[in-house]
Amino acid sequence: MFLIDDILLAPLRGIIWLGTKIDDIVGKELSDEGRIKEDLMTLQYRFEMGEISIEDYNRQEKGLLERLDAIRKAQEEGS
């Protein structure tokens, strides 16, 4: 009986494992200060090259800085 259960549940366990790994990767990327700093530099470059307006620049910069502050606060609370 247990062998049949293992065989039948193997695909489900694989999907759960994959979901866990994806969640870990997304969590690391969202909490990576370096990634946000790169995004800020890219945003500044796009603004200087005239690809985006000042309104878009300010809106996107505000969002990125808020994320950076949230990451730093979370790191302080975790330490």
Q: Output the pLDDT for position 26.
A: 84
Q: Where are the domains of the chain?
A: 32-79
The first and second tokens of residue 55, run together, are: 């309104």
What is the reported pTM? 0.63
DSSP state of 51: S
- The percentage of the chain sitting over the pLDDT mark of 90, rounded to a whole number, equals 52
Burial class (CB in 10 A: 0-12, 13-18, 19+), 67: middle
Mind listing the pLDDT tens digit for each residue in 38-72?
999 999 999 999 999 999 999 999 999 999 999 88
